Amino acid sequence: MTKRKNSPQKNLQEITTANELIKKDLNNITESEFRKIVIKLIAGLENSIEDSRESLATEIKGLRNSHEELKNALNEMQNKMEMTTARTEEAEERIGELEDKVMEKEEAEKKRDKKIQEYEGKIRELSDTLKRNNICIIGIPEEEERGKGAEGVLEEIIAENFPELGKEKGIEIQETQRTPFRRNLNRSSARHT
């Protein structure tokens, strides 16, 4: 197919021949003139159809190119979306793992705190069972007090530290008792005693 472009003169001639054909009286035209006019009109129509085909072909090519560009852009966007969804899924997995680790650490910390409390309770019980009488003899003069014994020394210490307490007679020394081996948790008592 060869490109034929109609010049403005040919288009003008085709229009004039068509107008002439309309204006002329068809009875007065000879058959050869009529055939020439019809052939010119058909040739003009062929040229205009060919021109429109060529312009349509170039428009279709342009549309196909733009269609391909759009396809490529869509594919790129789809690839980027897939990459971002993969990244978000990976991030969600990491977050889930970190949350699991945090939960495990919290549970381990609770267990550790509970064990610490148990051990502290056991240490208190042991310290309570190991407590002894807290009686200290400050000092005994060697020569004078040997004859008096422990009771005499105790009376003298009381008289020094508590002068009014020693005046009363009838003070009896009572023996202290050890703390019980097991502590009753239901009974309210101070922990240090």
User: Is 9 in contact with 47 (CB distance < 8 Å)?
Assistant: no
pLDDT for the residue numbered 177: 57
Q: Which of 61, 47, 37 is nearest to 5 (CA)?
A: 47
pLDDT tens per residue across span 15-38: 555 666 566 666 677 778 778 877
What is the chain's mean pLDDT, rounded? Answer: 76
Question: CA 101 to CA 91: how far, in whole Å?
Answer: 15
DSSP for 22-76, written as a single string = HHS-TTTS-HHHHHHHHHHHHHHHHHHHHHHHHHHHHHHHHHHHHHHHHHHHHHH
Query: Is the pLDDT confidence value at 74 over 90?
Result: yes
Question: CA 62 to CA 69: how far, in whole Å?
Answer: 11
pLDDT for the residue numbered 175: 62
User: Is 15 in contact with 61 (CB distance < 8 Å)?
Assistant: no
Question: CA 33 to CA 31: how far, in whole Å?
Answer: 5
Its pTM surpasses 0.85: no
